Amino acid sequence: MSTLKVDNLLNTAGNESPISVPGAAKAWVSFDGTAGAVSVRSAYNVSSVTENASGDYTINFTTAMADANYAVTTLGHTKLSANGDQRVLGFDEGNTYTTSAVQITNRYYTGASFSGCTHASVAVFAS
């Protein structure tokens, strides 16, 4: 068996190119979504995270998806206050869901309002 090890994979134009591996995430990001101070911790095929409002984020892809039939999974954690509010990070009907970006929101479990998310992770899978 042979092993191939490379530091960078470039397309024919000389640009870095995401590797197409069946079952592998086409994009992912880990970020701090604290209101007014969004910062990306680590990412793959994500150019930026835009904070639209507190708890409302748009994940912008570096290389667009082939179509908008991709799957998105989210995980979020917020440092809880003494009252133990539960929150849900995910996709709301009407949010942006295009080949170049997906919008996710972090809201109180009761649906009352959006809230910043201290630890957010998003992964995108596509064929």
Does 53 reside within a domain?
A: yes
Closest by alpha carbon to 107, among 83, 81, 85?
85
pLDDT of 20: 63
Nearest residue to 66 (alpha-carbon basis) of 27, 13, 11: 27
What is the C-alpha separation between 71 and 13, in angstroms, rounded? Answer: 29
Q: How far apart are the first and last CA of the chain?
A: 27
Supply the pLDDT for residue 127: 79
Residue 35 counted as domain residue: yes
Give residue 1's pLDDT. Answer: 74
Question: How many whole angstroms separate alpha carbon 82 and alpha carbon 79?
Answer: 10
- Position 73 scores a pLDDT of 92
Q: Name the phi and psi angles at 70, rounded to 5.
A: -100, 165
With respect to residue 49, please indicate whether it lies within any of the assigned structural domains.
Answer: yes
- State how many domains the chain has: 1
Structural domain including 105 reads: 27-125
pLDDT at 76: 80
Quote the pLDDT of residue 54.
85
**Residue 4 located in a structural domain:** no
Residue 113, phi then psi, degrees to nearest 5: -160, 165
Rounded-to-integer distance, Cα 126 and Cα 27, Å = 9
pLDDT of residue 93: 77
Q: Is residue 118 part of a domain?
A: yes
Residue 64 domain flag: yes
In a domain, 12, yes or no: no
| pLDDT averaged per 10 residues in sequence order, the chain, 127 residues | 73 63 86 86 96 92 94 80 64 86 82 77 91
Q: Is 49 helix (H, G, I), strand (E, B) or coil?
A: strand
Residue 14 placed within a domain:
no
